[in-house]
Structure 1
């Protein structure tokens, strides 16, 4: 059974630091934050969906690839994002907004870097049973 999302009409989203948190899988102090807009994932039951904003502060980079067991759709709303840099933040392929990715479960992706900072709109979901 799916976890339903709430009905939300247009409403303002504060883009200041209020309501942002460290995303799961990111080490503290990396300069990457998320703001959940709707829904939730239940990773134990492998169900649900969520929509979030993910932001990288300028100069931020991660050092390890990510993999997860849910679908992920990512829209680069603003800024730049480099995919596939090394552990020193060097190399990879640079993208600028607007850019889109759709990843099925089990696909390794990253590490990531943003020279000028970026804002991503992401939707995560499990396949319905």
Structure 2
């Protein structure tokens, strides 16, 4: 079950290195619900972050993202996305790697729908 969390400043959450080997990429998991496969988090990348070392990403879950600060370029299509903007990706969608010259912060939620499980 996901814990209840009252309004908290995004500077007050704990950021840790994100999975993979990408200097400057950190994340704060906000309220994981492993029973239902829901993981809301904030990804924070420092200026100059490049996720090429992680390669193209494909998830077995839905992914919804909202860039609320900064920008990054998805290197596969060569498109730059600037705050505020959002995306909704079904399972199996290829995306990344990406690079951010300015830095960025992104709210992301991954989840499984029952019919997808």
Normalised by the shorter chain, which TM-score bucket?
0.7 to 0.9
Q: Tell me, what secondary structure is at the counterpart of 1:48?
A: coil
Higher Rg: 1
- Scaled by the length of structure 2, the TM-score of the pair is 0.85
Provide runs of 4+ in structure 1 moved above 4 Å: none
CA RMSD across the alignment: 2.0
Q: Tell me, what secondary structure is at the counterpart of 2:70?
A: strand
Indicate conservation of the 8 Å contact 1:59/1:114, yes or no.
yes
| Aligned pairs, number | 113
- Scaled by the length of structure 1, the TM-score of the pair is 0.78
Indicate conservation of the 8 Å contact 1:83/1:92, yes or no.
yes
Query: What CA distance in whole angstroms lies between the structure 2 residues aligned with 1:106 and 1:41?
Result: 20
Q: Provide structure 1 residue ranges, at least 5 long, that are not aligned to the other structure.
A: 86-90
Structure 1 residue 76 corresponds to structure 2 residue 67: yes
Q: Provide structure 2 residue ranges, at least 5 long, that are not aligned to the other structure.
A: none
| 2:4 corresponding residue in structure 1 | 7
Query: What CA distance in whole angstroms lies between the structure 1 residues aligned with 2:89 and 2:66?
Result: 12
